[in-house]
């Protein structure tokens, strides 16, 4: 085979034809990079302008419309085009959450590919990140977003935010239902009281430590005078002993009289110094007693501070968002909080052989009543065309679907799903109070194996392609077991489960 390089004056030079090819490759690469960073990549990026946006609580990716929409508690706030997994490596439709964030991430699966502003949703490698958007599904399973949008979203979100990958574009709707949980009465007041008690206990503990330090310093200052008084007393006693010896050895009346006078003076001096020593010793002892008392008080105050802090933490933890998932496939209820399993329980679903759908209910604060929660729901599957999976809009069809508004969830269908659930009382009693960002998932599916250590609930829609997840190596082990821990029972809720931490 002919080499593509020839010798010329001792140097290797490309032939003119190859120079043209290299130049073309460089121009194409530069063009791709420019497109990736240009306004074409950022097309159709929208944000809400009619109100102040709140913190994101949910992102919905539409595979058909190749679009991501981010919602806060009041509605959508951000929207942008995406590029999901190509055929054979499809981004799996289902329910996920952000489990890890990394601003500058490089793939350990695909040749160290750069994935800026990565937000992981499975440990096996599915993520949201900035990337090139060719206008159709093109990734190996991840969801690529415009670079600038990915950076903006990265700064706005937190680990735990719900990510729903839907076959079509569906929007959450608000609903009310007697089975949806509300906060435990007085929970906010109790949390405030426990916090105030912890703060007061911490203040008292700090004061007690300061008092103990002050007592110790005063005792140290009293030690020197006491030692000086003791030394003077000892010297006076030694002098008295010397005068007694001199008196015993006096040979003349004059010497005896002189010795008796010296002894009298020594006795008086010794008595005086004894009084001073007794006073100094008593003062030192009182200060040492004060040190002991102050240290005991400091220990007691610290114990009280630790107990109050733990009580405040416990109340705060019970007010953290929780997740409950009810699976028709397994006829069980699962509860997680802060990415950790709490317990599972059997659950009764009326007419269990009939599909119930997949519904994600999310709690948010009611601005007019802090003792009440508002609920919204997103239902998956209803946007699927009859008899098949959802196919993304292609460029050849001339319609990206990005100008089509999301289909609102059918609230009646979601309420019908709630009507079919009966949760045992003991499970209700073990589910903690509901807080904003808690969630309840009702689904036909079983838990995905992706649910595990360091994850929220992961649910994959069985009727949709999952090539982007089945082709990947597993990350950290996700096996887990729902424990049935001992401890104080949780408060009773009217419906009986909890929800998802965002």
Whole-number pLDDT of residue 486 = 33
Highest mean pLDDT among 55-69, 113-127, 259-273 belongs to 55-69
Burial of 472 (0-12, 13-18, 19+ CB in 10 A): middle
Band (pLDDT 50/70/90 cuts) for residue 184 is confident
Residues in the chain, overall count: 502
Both structure tokens of 136: 């159709």
Candidates 42, 39, 78; CA nearest to 60 is 78
Using one digit for the tens of pLDDT, what is the confidence trace for 344-398? 999 999 999 999 999 999 999 876 666 788 999 999 975 554 444 555 654 433 3
Cβ–Cβ under 8 Å, residues 463 and 451: no
Whole-number pLDDT of residue 348 = 96
Of 1-15, 330-344, 384-398, minimum mean pLDDT range? 1-15
Using one digit for the tens of pLDDT, what is the confidence trace for 19-33? 344 344 334 444 444
- Check pLDDT > 70 for residue 56: yes
- Check pLDDT > 90 for residue 450: yes
Both structure tokens of 149: 């949008």
The pTM of the full predicted model, rounded to 2 decimals, is: 0.70
Q: H or E element: which one contains 275? A: helix 253-318
Band (pLDDT 50/70/90 cuts) for residue 291 is very high
CA–CA distance, 65 with 168 (Å, rounded to integer):
7
CA–CA distance, 323 with 442 (Å, rounded to integer):
11
């Amino acid at each position: 085979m002919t080499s593509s390089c020839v010798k010329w004056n001792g140097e290797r030079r490309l032939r003119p034809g190859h120079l043209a090819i290299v130049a073309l490759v460089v121009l194409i690469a530069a063009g791709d990079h420019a497109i990736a960073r240009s306004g074409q990549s950022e097309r159709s990026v929208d944000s809400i302008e009619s109100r102040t946006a709140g913190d994101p609580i949910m992102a919905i990716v539409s595979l058909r419309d190749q679009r991501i929409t981010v919602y806060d508690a009041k509605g959508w706030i951000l929207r942008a085009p995406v590029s999901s997994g190509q055929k054979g490596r499809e981004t799996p439709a289902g329910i996920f959450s952000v489990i890890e964030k990394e601003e500058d991430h490089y793939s350990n699966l695909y040749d160290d590919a750069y994935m800026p502003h990565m937000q992981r949703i499975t440990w096996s490698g599915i993520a949201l990140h900035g990337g090139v958007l060719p206008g159709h599904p093109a990734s190996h399973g991840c969801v690529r977003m415009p670079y600038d949008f990915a950076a903006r979203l990265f700064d706005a979100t937190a680990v735990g935010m719900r990510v729903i990958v839907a076959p079509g574009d569906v929007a959450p709707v608000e609903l009310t239902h007697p089975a949806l949980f509300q906060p435990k009465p007085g929970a906010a007041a109790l949390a405030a009281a426990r916090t105030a008690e912890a703060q007061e206990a911490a203040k008292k503990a700090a004061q007690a430590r300061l008092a103990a330090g002050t007592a110790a310093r005063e005792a140290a200052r009293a030690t020197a005078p006491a030692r000086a008084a003791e030394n003077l007393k000892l010297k006076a006693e030694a002098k008295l002993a010397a005068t007694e010896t001199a008196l015993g050895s006096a040979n003349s009346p004059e010497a005896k009289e002189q010795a008796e006078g010296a002894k009298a003076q020594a006795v008086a001096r010794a008595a005086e110094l004894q009084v001073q020593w007794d006073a100094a010793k008593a003062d030192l002892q009182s200060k040492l007693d004060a040190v002991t008392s102050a240290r005991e008080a400091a220990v007691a105050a610290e114990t009280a501070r630790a107990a109050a802090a733990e009580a405040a933490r416990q109340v705060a933890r019970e007010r953290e968002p929780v997740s409950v998932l009810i699976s028709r496939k397994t006829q069980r209820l699962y509860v997680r909080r802060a990415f950790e399993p709490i317990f599972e329980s059997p659950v009764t679903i009326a007419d269990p052989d009939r599909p119930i759908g997949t519904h994600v209910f999310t709690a948010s604060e009611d601005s007019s009543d802090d003792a009440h929660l508002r609920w919204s729901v997103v239902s998956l599957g209803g946007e699927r065309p009859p008899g098949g999976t959802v196919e993304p809009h292609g460029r050849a069809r001339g319609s990206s679907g990005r100008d089509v508004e999301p289909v609102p969830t059918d609230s009646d269908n979601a309420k019908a799903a709630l009507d079919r659930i009966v949760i045992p009382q003991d499970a209700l009693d073990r589910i903690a109070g509901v807080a904003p960002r808690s969630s309840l998932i009702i689904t036909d599916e079983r838990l995905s194996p992706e649910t595990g250590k360091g994850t929220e609930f992961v649910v994959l829609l069985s009727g949709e392609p999952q090539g982007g997840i089945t082709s990947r190596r597993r990350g950290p082990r996700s096996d887990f077991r729902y424990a049935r821990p001992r401890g104080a029972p949780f408060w009773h809720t009217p419906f009986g489960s909890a929800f998802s931490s965002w």
